[in-house]
């Protein structure tokens, strides 16, 4: 029994000594950390006894992390500035292109406006010219696509044509039977000059516009033309003229210096597009 007690006492003492050694080891390590930290202190702090706590370790790690965070913040700020500059430059370029496009559109619209103003001016001039022409056409008769004027006075063929041309017209050109019948109706019993002559080449009858008389539209009276070089101009009669031309109706060649009435013709298209 005494041996067991003795053994237990030795065991307890041995365990106590082991615990003391562990505590001493911890104290030694803590003292070493404190000494290492104490070496970084300033001379004013050397008079204070070295102390080491958990907050000191956190402070050390924080002081080391601060420069790193500052560097990272500067990098992020620089990146943001670069991105912002690129964005501003891109926007500025786009705005410049849009401005140039708008200026181009404005220029085009200005040109179109000027063209429209010119067209309006031209249309007004044409309107005024048409109004003047219509006023001059008082006493003229409209048929199909032309205006016709039959004179009351008498002139020779050349003077008759001059009268017509001074009014933007010419002696009548008869193109078909309907127009020939129309001339008969408006001339009545009068003998009137038409725009047909062979003054340039005998027996080659031409209208005043230079076109040659075709065989399809000939309305000569019986046995006409028969005047040779003596009679180079043409009149038309709707009713036989007595006693000169008994029974003759249609075209008759006459001497160009004889005075007769005449018929002027003006195409409507000449009024619209002078």
CA–CA separation, 272 vs 274, rounded Å? 6
Verdict on whether the full-model pTM lies above 0.75: no
Task: Please report the pLDDT score of residue 216 as a whole number.
Answer: 67
What are residue 173's phi and psi, to 5 degrees? -110, 120
Q: What is the largest CA-CA distance in the chain?
A: 194
Cis peptide before 122 (omega within 30 of 0): no
The candidate with the shortest Cα–Cα distance to 38, out of 23, 51, 20, 54, is: 51
Rounded average pLDDT over 50-64: 61
Mean pLDDT score, 82-100:
86
pLDDT given at position 137: 62
> What is the Cα gyration radius of the chain?
62
What is the distance, to the nearest Å, from the Cα of residue 68 to the centroid of all Cα atoms in its chain? 62
Long-range contacts of 163-167 (CB under 8 A, 24+ apart): 163/262, 163/264, 164/262, 164/264, 164/265, 167/136, 167/264, 167/266
Give CA–CA dist 34/31, Å, rounded: 5
Which range among 7-21, 65-79, 111-125 has the greatest average pLDDT? 111-125
- What CA–CA distance (Å, rounded) separates 99 from 48? 74
Q: What are phi and psi of 242, to 5 degrees?
A: -105, 145
Query: Comparing 27-36, 47-56, 178-187, which segment has the lowest mean pLDDT?
Result: 27-36
Q: Report whether pLDDT(199) > 70.
A: yes
If pLDDT is split at 50, 70 and 90, which confidence band does 26 have? very low
**Residues 226-274: tens digit of each pLDDT:** 878 899 999 999 998 878 888 899 999 999 999 999 999 998 765 555 4
pLDDT of residue 144: 86
Cβ neighbors of 213 (< 8 A, separation 6 or more) are 196, 205, 206, 207
Indicate the CATH number for domain 146-272.
3.10.100.10
Distance CA 199, CA 205 (A): 8
Q: Which two tokens stand for residue 273?
A: 């597009």
Residue 259: the pLDDT is: 97
Average of per-residue pLDDT values in the chain = 79
Report the percentage of the chain scoring pLDDT > 90. Answer: 38
């Amino acid at each position: 029994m005494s041996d067991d007690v003795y053994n237990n006492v030795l065991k307890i003492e041995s365990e106590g000594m082991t615990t003391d050694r562990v505590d001493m080891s911890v104290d030694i390590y803590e003292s070493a950390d404190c000494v290492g930290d104490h070496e970084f202190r300033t001379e004013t702090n050397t008079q204070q006894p070295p102390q080491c706590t958990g907050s000191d370790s956190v402070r050390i790690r924080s002081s080391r992390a601060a420069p790193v965070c500052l560097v990272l913040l500067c990098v992020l700020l620089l990146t943001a500035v670069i991105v912002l500059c690129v964005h501003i430059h891109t926007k500025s370029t786009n705005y410049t292109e849009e401005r140039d496009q708008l200026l181009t559109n404005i220029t085009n619209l200005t040109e179109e406006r000027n063209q429209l103003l010119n067209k309006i001016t031209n249309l007004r001039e044409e309107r005024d010219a048409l109004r003047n022409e219509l006023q001059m056409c008082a006493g003229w008769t409209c048929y199909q696509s032309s205006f016709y004027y039959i004179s009351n006075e008498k002139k020779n063929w050349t003077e008759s044509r001059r009268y017509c041309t001074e009014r933007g017209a010419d002696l009548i050109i008869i193109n078909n039977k309907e127009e020939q019948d129309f001339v008969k109706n408006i001339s009545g019993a009068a003998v009137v000059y038409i725009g047909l002559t062979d003054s340039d080449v005998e027996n080659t009858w031409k209208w005043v516009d230079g076109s040659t008389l075709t065989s399809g539209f000939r309305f000569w009276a019986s046995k006409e033309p028969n005047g040779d070089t003596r009679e180079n101009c043409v009149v038309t009669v709707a009713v036989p003229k007595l006693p000169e031309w008994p029974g003759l109706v249609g075209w008759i060649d006459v001497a160009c210096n004889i005075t007769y009435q005449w018929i002027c013709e003006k195409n409507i298209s000449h009024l619209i597009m002078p």
